[in-house]
Amino acid sequence: MHNNLFKFPNKIIKEKKSQYVQWKKTNHSSLNLPRNEKKQRKVFLDALLELNDKGANFSNKYLRDEILTMMLGGSETSSITICFCILMLAIHQDIQDKVYEEIYQIMGDCDRILTIDDTVKFVYLEQCIKETLRLYPVAPIIVRYLQDDVKISNYTIPKGTTIIIPPIATHHLPELYPNPWEYNPGNFDPEKVAQRHKCSFIAFSDGPRKCIGEKYAMLFMKVLLSTFLRNYSVHTKCKMSDIKLKLEFMMKSVHGYQVTISPRDRKPIHKVKFNEKNV
């Protein structure tokens, strides 16, 4: 499994190192690059290789670990969540209609590009994403190493202990979320969120080691899902009871995300009265 995981980043590092050596041979510098090339943004690995060239002395293992962090933490986590969210909306057509109605009210039937202000208005869509993460957190367990003694109730967990925190268990406690295996974006109505402990939802972990990409991930998912659902509807014969989970490096669906996609007419869905009460 490790060999499969490392194969792709090792290939990327090898290719980038070769490209960097070739670039140096051409005697290019930031001072004599063509004007249009100066504006080209570097990818993360380019920056690491430049630092390496200046004496940082990063090992291949260090470079590989950084690439894996970007690949898994910055891409695959969001991709899996988007797949689960699309499947949830395909199963729950009434919720999908509400999401589309919100998108239509904000974007209309024009083809203009989304703005940051638009994404802030996707309140119900964000609730759907969070409910997806509640049901199916891509990181179902979190491992932490205690640097100090931690007292919980009458118990003290000693410094140096490795502990496991399971978001998938916390997210399915009936005392926090009634009918915990049902898909209900209403769980993230502001008044309900205010009644729960802030760590009742830890899809992005919490504390000093909380995911630094949370805001980017939510923005990315809202942009992608709103753009997709603005143009297409999704349908499935799958039921909630059909979904089986497996844990590899992240939690996924055993049978994939089986949906059919249909072009959507950009017009309001009159059978859904979308207003502030819906969100």
Percentage of the chain exceeding pLDDT 90: 57
Q: What is the pLDDT of residue 106?
A: 94
Return d(Cα 104, Cα 89) in angstroms, integer.
16
Distance of CA 14 to the CA centre of its chain: 28
Give yes or no: residues 264 and 173 share one domain: yes
Whether the CB-CB separation of 80 and 252 falls below 8 Å is answered with: yes
Q: Tokens for 58, please give them.
A: 């990063």
Report in angstroms the alpha-carbon separations of 88 from 5, 92, 123, 180, 222.
29, 6, 17, 14, 15
Give yes or no: residues 217 and 84 share one domain: yes
State the amino acid at position 205 in one-letter form.
S
Give yes or no: residues 19 and 74 share one domain: no
Whether the CB-CB separation of 92 and 183 falls below 8 Å is answered with: yes
Q: What is the pLDDT of residue 19?
A: 82
Answer whether residue 278 shows pLDDT above 50: no
Domain count, the chain: 2
Q: Which residue has the tokens 């995300």?
A: 257
Distance of CA 178 to the CA centre of its chain: 25
Return d(Cα 178, Cα 182) in angstroms, integer.
9
Q: Which of 58, 85, 106 is the last residue of a domain?
A: 58
Average confidence (pLDDT) over 28-50: 61
The pLDDT tens digits for 177-215 are: 999 999 999 999 999 999 999 999 999 999 888 887 888
Confidence of residue 41 (pLDDT cuts 50, 70, 90): low
Paired strand residues for 116:
none
Return d(Cα 272, Cα 193) in angstroms, integer.
25
Average confidence (pLDDT) over 114-124: 94
Average confidence (pLDDT) over 14-23: 81
Give yes or no: residues 140 and 164 share one domain: yes
Give yes or no: residues 195 and 240 share one domain: yes
Q: Is 233 helix (H, G, I), strand (E, B) or coil?
A: strand
Q: What is the pLDDT of residue 64?
A: 80
Give yes or no: residues 123 and 240 share one domain: yes
Give yes or no: residues 87 and 37 share one domain: no
Q: What domain range is 229 assigned to?
A: 66-278
Q: Supply the pTM of this predicted model.
A: 0.77
Q: Which of 11, 33, 58 is the last residue of a domain?
A: 58
Answer whether residue 30 shows pLDDT above 60: no
Q: Which residues contact 277 (CB under 8 A, 6 or more apart)?
A: none
Q: Tokens for 263, please give them.
A: 């072009």
Q: What is the pLDDT of residue 279?
A: 40
Q: In the chain, which ranges are continuous DSSP H helix?
A: 2-25, 35-38, 44-51, 60-68, 77-91, 93-107, 116-121, 123-135, 167-170, 190-195, 214-231
Answer whether residue 71 shows pLDDT above 70: no
Q: What is the pLDDT of residue 122?
A: 97
The pLDDT tens digits for 245-273 are: 998 878 999 999 999 999 998 777 755 44
Q: Specify the CATH number for the domain of residue 239.
A: 1.10.630.10
Give yes or no: residues 144 and 27 share one domain: no
